[in-house]
C-alpha cells in the first residue's frame, strides 16, 4: 500500500451513500477488509458501498467493454464483497465523472459487471440510467419477519431481488439482518429483499435489505425491480400494450421515477449529489489494509 494519502469523495443518490475512490489506472489494491473499514460509519468514512472509478481498459473485469465505455464502475458492497450492479451508484458515478471534468451534461456509457449501462446527465442535476431489462422468474421465495410471511417475486436487474408486497412497511421489522426466506436455494449467492406498500395509482413505497449492506436508504436496482413487479401485479406489461409504464417509487431517502419501455428497457431517473472530497490518512490506511 502506498504511503501517499488516498484521494476520496463522498456522494449519495436518494441518500444511498458511497465513498468514491478515483483510480483511473487501477493502481489501488482493494481487499475486502479495507473496503469494509472505509465504509464503517464510526471507524471510517462511512457508506453503503465503494465506487472504484477505473478506466475500463485498465481493469481485467472490464477490458472487454472498453470499446463501448471509457469508465468502469468497480462496485463494492459495504462488507467488501464485489457486486454486479448498483443503480444509485451509477447515478453518483456519472455525477462524479462530471464533477471531475471527464464528461459534460448529456449521454455517457458506464461499464459495470452487469454490462454497459447508458446514462443521461440532465443540466438540472438529475441522472437517468438505462438499467437494462428485468428478468422475472417463477422461482419465488417466501419471506418471513416476526411471524408474518409473504410470497416474494423473483426479479433480476443484473443482480437478484425478491419483491414482497405488504400492507405496512413497518411489518418489515428492523432489517438489521437479512430476513429469512425459503427455499434458500433460489438465491445461492444471497439476494436484495424489497418490502413494498401501495401509496396511490402507480405510486408505491419500499424498504430494502441490501445484500452485503443491511437496510439502506435507497436501492436503484431494487426500485426498478419493485416497479416491474408492481406493474405485473397490476396487470400491466408494456411489451403487450406497446405503451411505456411509469411508477413513482418512494424510498427512505427520496423518490425515484421508474419507466419500463415496450422493448423491455427499464429507465431510472433521480438525483445524484457530491457532498465532500478529501484524503484518507496513509497511516490509518496502512492499518486498515493490514
CATH of the domain at 100: 3.10.310.10
Between the alpha carbon of residue 90 and those of residues 41, 108, 203, 223, 252, the distances in Å are 22, 11, 23, 14, 19
- To the question of whether residue 87 is assigned a binding role by annotation, the answer is yes
pLDDT per residue, tens digit, the chain (290 aa), is 456 889 999 999 999 999 999 999 999 999 999 999 999 999 999 999 999 999 999 999 999 999 999 999 999 999 999 988 888 999 999 999 999 999 998 999 999 999 999 999 998 889 999 999 999 988 889 999 999 999 999 999 988 999 999 999 999 999 999 999 999 999 999 999 999 999 999 999 999 999 888 899 999 999 999 999 999 999 999 999 999 999 999 999 999 999 999 999 999 999 999 999 999 998 888 876 66
Question: Is 20 in the same domain as 75?
Answer: yes
- Do 174 and 112 have their domain in common? no
Report which secondary-structure segment, H or E, holds 256.
strand 254-260
If asked whether residues 105 and 144 sit together in one domain, one would say no
Cis, peptide link before residue 183, omega less than 30° from 0: yes
Cell of 95: 455525477
The pLDDT assigned to 217 comes to 92
Residue 278 lies in a domain: yes
Q: What's the domain range around 20?
A: 6-126+273-288
Distances (CA, A) of 178 to 3, 21, 138, 175: 38, 28, 22, 6
Regarding whether 284 and 265 lie in a shared domain, the answer is no
Q: 6, 20, 5, 7: which is closest to 274 by C-alpha? A: 20
> Is 159 known as a binding-site position?
yes
Is residue 279 located within the same domain as residue 266? no
Q: Is residue 189 part of a domain?
A: yes
Residue 154 marked ligand-binding: no
Residue 56 domain flag: yes
Assign 147 to helix, strand or coil. coil
> According to the model, what pLDDT value does residue 232 have?
97
| 240 among annotated binding-site residues | no
In a domain, 226, yes or no: yes
Q: Answer yes or no: do 146 and 258 share one domain.
A: yes
Answer whether residue 244 is part of any domain. Answer: yes
Q: Note whether residue 1 is domain-resident.
A: no
- 75 is a domain residue: yes
| 31: its cell numbers | 481487499
Task: Report residue 281 as a C-alpha cell.
Answer: 490518512
- 211 and 193 in a single domain? The answer is yes
Q: Give the CA distances from residue 78 to residues 3, 18, 143, 176, 198, in Å, rounded to whole numbers and listed in that order.
A: 24, 9, 23, 14, 30
Query: How do 106-112 and 181-182 pair as beta strands?
Result: unpaired
Residue from 99, 92, 108, 109 nearest 16 by CA: 92
- For the whole model, what pTM was predicted? 0.89
Nearest to 245 by CA among 189, 201, 289, 281: 201
> How many domains, the chain?
2
Tell me: is residue 88 an annotated ligand-binding position.
Answer: yes
Question: Quick one: pLDDT at residue 147?
Answer: 94
Residues 114 and 145 reside in one and the same domain: no
Based on the fold, state whether residues 97 and 183 are members of the same structural domain. no
Q: Are residues 186 and 119 part of one domain?
A: no
Are 137 and 121 found together in one domain? no
Enumerate the active-site residues. 86, 219
Would you state the pLDDT for residue 285?
A: 83
150 within some domain:
yes
Q: What is the pLDDT of residue 286?
A: 80
Q: Do residues 264 and 279 both lie within one domain?
A: no
Amino acid at each position: 500500500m502506498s504511503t501517499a494519502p488516498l484521494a476520496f469523495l463522498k456522494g449519495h443518490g436518494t441518500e444511498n451513500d458511497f465513498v468514491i475512490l478515483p483510480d483511473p489506472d487501477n493502481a489501488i489494491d482493494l481487499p475486502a477488509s479495507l473496503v469494509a473499514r472505509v465504509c464503517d460509519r464510526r471507524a471510517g468514512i462511512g457508506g453503503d458501498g465503494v465506487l472504484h472509478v477505473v478506466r475500463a481498459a485498465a481493469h481485467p473485469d472490464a477490458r472487454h467493454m472498453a470499446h463501448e465505455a471509457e469508465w468502469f464502475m468497480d462496485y463494492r458492497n459495504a462488507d467488501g464483497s464485489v457486486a454486479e450492479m448498483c443503480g444509485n451508484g451509477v447515478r453518483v458515478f456519472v455525477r462524479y465523472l462530471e464533477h471531475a471534468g471527464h464528461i459534460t451534461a448529456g449521454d455517457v456509457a458506464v461499464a459495470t459487471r452487469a454490462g454497459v449501462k447508458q446514462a443521461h446527465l440532465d443540466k438540472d442535476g438529475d441522472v437517468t440510467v438505462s438499467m437494462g431489462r428485468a428478468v422475472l422468474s417463477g422461482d419465488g421465495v417466501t419471506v418471513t419477519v416476526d411471524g408474518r410471511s409473504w410470497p416474494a417475486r423473483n426479479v433480476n436487474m443484473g443482480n437478484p431481488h425478491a419483491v414482497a408486497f405488504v400492507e405496512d412497511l413497518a411489518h418489515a421489522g428492523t432489517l438489521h439482518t437479512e430476513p429469512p426466506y425459503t427455499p434458500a436455494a433460489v438465491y445461492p449467492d444471497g439476494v436484495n429483499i424489497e418490502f413494498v406498500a401501495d401509496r396511490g395509482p402507480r405510486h408505491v413505497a419500499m424498504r430494502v435489505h441490501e445484500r452485503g449492506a443491511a437496510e439502506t436508504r435507497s436501492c436503484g436496482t431494487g426500485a426498478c425491480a419493485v416497479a416491474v413487479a408492481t406493474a405485473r401485479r397490476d396487470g400491466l406489461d408494456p411489451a403487450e400494450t406497446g405503451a411505456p409504464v411509469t411508477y413513482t417509487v418512494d424510498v427512505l431517502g427520496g423518490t425515484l421515477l421508474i419507466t419500463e419501455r415496450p422493448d423491455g428497457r427499464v429507465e431510472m431517473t433521480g438525483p445524484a449529489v457530491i457532498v465532500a472530497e478529501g484524503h484518507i490518512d496513509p497511516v490509518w490506511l496502512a492499518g486498515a489494509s493490514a
